[in-house]
Amino acid sequence: MSMLGDAAGGAGRYLDDRLGLAKVVRKNIRKVFPDHWSFMLGEITLYSFIILLLSGTFLTLFFDPSMTETVYNGAYGPLRGEEMSRAYASALEISFEVRGGLIMRHIHHWAALIFIAGMVVHAFRTFFTGAFRKPREINWLLGVALLVLGLLEGFMGYSLPDDLLSGTGLRIAEGVILSIPLVGSYILMFFFGGEFPGVDLIPRMYMVHILLVPGLILALIAAHVGLVTYHKHTQYPGAGRTEKNVVGYPLLPVYAAKAGGFFFVVFGVICGIAALVPINPIWQYGPYDPSEVTAGSQPDWYIGFLEGSLRLMPNWEIEFWGNTLSLNVLIPSLVVPGIMFTIFALYPFIEAWVTGDKREHHILDRPRNQPVRTGLGVMFITSYTILWIAGGNDIIAITFGLSINAITWFMRIAFFVLPPLAFWVTKRACLGLQHRDKDKVLHGRETGILMQLPHGEFIEVHEPITPEERWRLTSQEIQRPAALPASADGNGVAPRGALAGKLRSKVSRWYFEDRVEPATPADVHELESSGGHH
């Protein structure tokens, strides 16, 4: 025992003398992390990324990113004798001949779907709880960058096997690039190195897919997690939690054990699914041939919203001076997502401008206490989901026996009608929940027990809530609309920035006009002195 301890101590001293680690480690192992299931979402993403790196490394050992033509002579009968690229042939080889190859492909693909899904859910947890507020705006931007890189990386992975589905996806990407006015065809030549599909694209994409983008993602993840440690983790409101402390478990041993355990849980779930549920049966698609298409061609889920916006868009084109501006492609595949991602990235700055709040926030909001923000988030999710569902309109049509035209028209209308409706409903729901919280503070929890008073009146028995809970329900700060700026000085000259100020106060009114102010001690007091009746 003591020998072991001596050895460990010796090793530690050796390293400390050379790397100066002791201080860093001592500081960090005492770092405290709050415990909540929603704080594990980022971890799901991180661990899927690690699984992607591991399984991807395996795949690189056998995948040959070459467009050289070859005649297939492998294990899959229905394709034997078929001409195809080396890329596709080697992907088939991984599926049928390499030991463990198919499950590695499954693991890699499932982990990719989960990686991006986890990222999205994590982003919305951050959004709805206001964790993007000062000082974490930069980290929000890093997160958005990671999301965009994730989409790009996933799309390239989907395109590499050079099967019919990959090629169809690239064909669409080609159309999107070509729809960029003026420079589209130059950009296309730059990427594809010639006419579609060409022989350069797959090897180029392969390099970007296995080296450049993963490298960038890794670096950004390091910065992202580094900033989380530096800022310390946010926490939900509760008794004893302030803007100045963090309540939770220390990194060692509790948190590290939990997080480490969770890695294996994520690994296990992904492997289990990969073993049981096939994904992307490339051998059924056949090799890519520009003259072929297949029903059920669909991108992976995260590109689905782009597919949907393409499918919803009416066929508009503008002709001028012999040029065609393909609005039918440009708007749905570049303008709409461009706007969506810009708003998404800039939201922390927009909200900071509206509230004019320059303070740091480490205590999270409960989503109901921010009815407008929560409403906006749900509105965004609604628009996104409609596009996403529209991308699978053919699958919905065949699965439920509906008309694809009817679905498309329904979705077109829904895209404009449902998001505002979702906003309104969510905002009302939040205000309703706030009212309920206030009632709970003032009158206690409803027990469902009815009691008859001596004079015959029935009342419901309310059970008082604990002080901890009362704190949780009343600690949020009250936000009121910003005052209108002084409109003009004595000489009738508007001060500089008056217009912006006016706009700000308008938006701020829209944000905070409808509100439920939490119960104050005075309210409670008044209620008690009036004998608890209402």
The distance of closest approach from Cβ of residue 124 to another protein in the complex, given in angstroms and rounded to an integer, is 13
Burial class (CB in 10 A: 0-12, 13-18, 19+), 465: middle
Strand ranges, E, within 326-455: 445-452
480-519 residues near another protein, rule: CB under 8 A: none
7-36 residues near another protein, rule: CB under 8 A: 35-36
Q: How many residues form the binding site for another protein (CB under 8 A)?
A: 71
189 or 398: whose CB is closer to another protein? Answer: 398
246 binds another protein (CB under 8 A): no
Q: Which stretch binds another protein (CB under 8 A): 208-216, 270-278, 462-470, 499-507?
A: 270-278
229 or 403: whose CB is closer to another protein? Answer: 403
CA-based nearest residue to 178, from 341, 297, 325, 298: 325
225-244 residues near another protein, rule: CB under 8 A: none
In single-letter form, the type of residue at position 340 comes to: M
66 binds another protein (CB under 8 A): no
Kindly write out the interface string for residues 90-129 of this chain, putting x where it contacts another protein by CB under 8 A and - elsewhere.
------------x---x---x--xx--xx--x--------
277 or 522: whose CB is closer to another protein? Answer: 277
Q: Which stretch binds another protein (CB under 8 A): 17-25, 209-217, 284-292, 509-517?
A: 284-292
What token pair was written down for 215? 């490298």
266 binds another protein (CB under 8 A): yes
Contact assessment for residue 389 and residue 408, using Cβ atoms and an 8 Å cutoff: no
Kindly write out the interface string for residues 35-64 of this chain, putting x where it contacts another protein by CB under 8 A and - elsewhere.
xxxxxxx-xx--------------------
Q: Which stretch binds another protein (CB under 8 A): 236-244, 276-284, 461-469, 488-496?
A: 276-284
The distance of closest approach from Cβ of residue 54 to another protein in the complex, given in angstroms and rounded to an integer, is 18
Question: Coil, strand, or helix at residue 271?
Answer: helix
**Of all helices (H) and strands (E), which one includes residue 315?**
none
The distance of closest approach from Cβ of residue 58 to another protein in the complex, given in angstroms and rounded to an integer, is 17
What token pair was written down for 132? 């993007």
**Distance between the two ends of the chain, CA-based, in angstroms?**
69
Interior CA angle at 502 toward 421 and 419, to 5°? 10
Q: Which stretch binds another protein (CB under 8 A): 11-19, 216-224, 272-280, 485-493?
A: 272-280
110 or 347: whose CB is closer to another protein? Answer: 110
The distance of closest approach from Cβ of residue 412 to another protein in the complex, given in angstroms and rounded to an integer, is 16
300-319 residues near another protein, rule: CB under 8 A: 300-302, 304
393 binds another protein (CB under 8 A): yes
CA atoms of 500 and 493, how far apart (whole Å): 15
Contact assessment for residue 504 and residue 353, using Cβ atoms and an 8 Å cutoff: yes
70 binds another protein (CB under 8 A): no
Contact assessment for residue 341 and residue 193, using Cβ atoms and an 8 Å cutoff: no
398-417 residues near another protein, rule: CB under 8 A: 398, 401-406
Contact assessment for residue 59 and residue 263, using Cβ atoms and an 8 Å cutoff: no
Q: Which stretch binds another protein (CB under 8 A): 20-28, 386-394, 451-459, 507-515?
A: 386-394
| Cross-strand bridge partners of residue 249 | 33
Q: Which stretch binds another protein (CB under 8 A): 76-84, 171-179, 225-233, 478-486?
A: 76-84
CA-based nearest residue to 109, from 262, 268, 277: 277
CA atoms of 55 and 110, how far apart (whole Å): 11
Helix segments in 65-210, DSSP class H:
86-96, 101-128, 137-159, 164-178, 184-192, 201-207
Strand ranges, E, within 397-495: 445-452, 458-463
What token pair was written down for 470? 């009362």
Q: Which stretch binds another protein (CB under 8 A): 188-196, 218-226, 387-395, 426-434?
A: 387-395
CA atoms of 202 and 169, how far apart (whole Å): 13
Question: Coil, strand, or helix at residue 297?
Answer: coil
Q: Cα dist. 46→34, 111, 301 in Å?
A: 18, 11, 19
425 binds another protein (CB under 8 A): no
Kindly write out the interface string for residues 161-190 of this chain, putting x where it contacts another protein by CB under 8 A and - elsewhere.
---xx-------------------------
61 or 293: whose CB is closer to another protein? Answer: 293
How would you classify the pairing of strands 32-33 and 69-71?
unpaired
79 binds another protein (CB under 8 A): yes
391 binds another protein (CB under 8 A): yes
The distance of closest approach from Cβ of residue 295 to another protein in the complex, given in angstroms and rounded to an integer, is 3
